[in-house]
């Protein structure tokens, strides 16, 4: 018997081959949960080279892994910049399985084009980050939260934030603002939903070895006449040197904390933001 037997978890941004969403989906499925996974259909030039080489098929591949664990899986393609698609995602999940018990807001905008100073940041890029990283999370909480309230059995909502939710770095105005806002959303939603025994928490990873596509890394690899894979590997090694525990996080490190916050043992924890960064930030 798994601790999530009979539970249904909805996870956004779950299609990456080395992504946090996939790691969360497999972690919860291995513990008995049925899973709803969503992602955006990305063009080939926005995919990591490893996924192209492996002929990875985003949420279709993840769904096959979940089903191989003996769990049911609903896959839904969803563009998080379109409000109606977010509402439909929640409705389809509830209709398919009859209930939703866990929501994990994991999806984020592709970083890289935001890596400029605030005076050079375009309003379009600024808006894209707020729309995907913050507004989409709000809409998921709104629509899934309503379903959880109507069910009357409580629930768990977990937002994947960032160490950028607590500390800015140079040339990250859009990303940092969107992630700071996610902590405010977490706290306010936790208070609003507490009377319904729905907890809302955030996980704040530092650098994570996800291999998700990054426009800045692609540009830097081209300037250095390196493959994107080789440049990405060097970034991971360099980032690990500044981490007290000696490495960047793996997606499974984040999924372990998510699994705890989704569990019955975390029933008296709400409105909190947990760091998963190997000791690089303490508050």
Closest alpha carbon to 162 in 244, 80, 254? 254
Catalytic residue among 175, 215, 241, 274: 175
Q: In sequence order, which residues have a C-beta less than 8 Å from that of residue 125 and are 6 or more positions away?
A: 113, 114, 174
The verdict on whether 241 is a catalytic residue reads no
The verdict on whether 179 is a catalytic residue reads yes
Beta-bridge partners for 249: 208
Reduced to 3 states, what is the DSSP secondary structure of residue 277? coil
DSSP string, 104-163: EE---PPPSTT-S-GGG--HHHHHHHHIIIIIHHHHHHHHHHHHHHHHTS-EEEEEE--G
Reduced to 3 states, what is the DSSP secondary structure of residue 82? coil
Catalytic residue among 4, 27, 179, 274: 179
- DSSP character for 10? E
Closest alpha carbon to 57 in 30, 77, 32? 77
Q: What amino acid positions are annotated as catalytic residues?
A: 175, 179
């Amino acid at each position: 018997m798994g601790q999530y037997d009979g539970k249904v978890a909805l996870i956004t941004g779950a299609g990456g081959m080395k992504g946090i969403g996939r790691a969360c989906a497999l972690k919860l499925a291995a513990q008995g949960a049925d899973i709803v996974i969503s992602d955006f259909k990305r063009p080939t030039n926005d995919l990591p080279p490893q996924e192209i080489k492996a002929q990875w098929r985003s949420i279709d591949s993840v769904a096959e892994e979940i089903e191989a664990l003996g769990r049911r899986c609903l896959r839904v393609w969803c563009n998080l910049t379109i409000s109606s698609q977010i509402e439909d995602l929640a409705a389809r999940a509830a209709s398919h399985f009859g209930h939703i018990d866990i929501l994990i807001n994991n999806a984020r905008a592709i970083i890289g084009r935001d890596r400029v100073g605030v005076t050079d940041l375009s309003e379009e890029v600024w808006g894209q980050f707020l729309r995907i990283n913050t507004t989409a999370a709000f809409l998921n909480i709104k629509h899934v939260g309503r379903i959880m309230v109507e069910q009357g059995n409580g629930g768990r909502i977990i937002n994947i934030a960032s160490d950028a939710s607590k500390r800015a770095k140079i040339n990250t105005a859009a990303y940092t603002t969107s992630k700071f806002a996610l902590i405010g959303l977490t706290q306010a939603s936790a208070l609003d939903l507490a009377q319904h025994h729905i907890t809302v928490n955030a996980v704040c990873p530092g650098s994570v070895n996800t291999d998700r596509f990054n426009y800045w890394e692609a540009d830097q690899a081209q300037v250095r006449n390196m493959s994107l894979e080789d440049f990405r590997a060097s970034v991971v090694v360099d980032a690990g040197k500044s981490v007290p525990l000696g490495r960047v996080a793996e997606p499974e490190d984040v999924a372990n904390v998510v699994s705890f916050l989704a569990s019955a043992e975390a029933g008296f924890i709400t409105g909190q933001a947990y760091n998963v960064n190997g000791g690089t930030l303490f508050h």
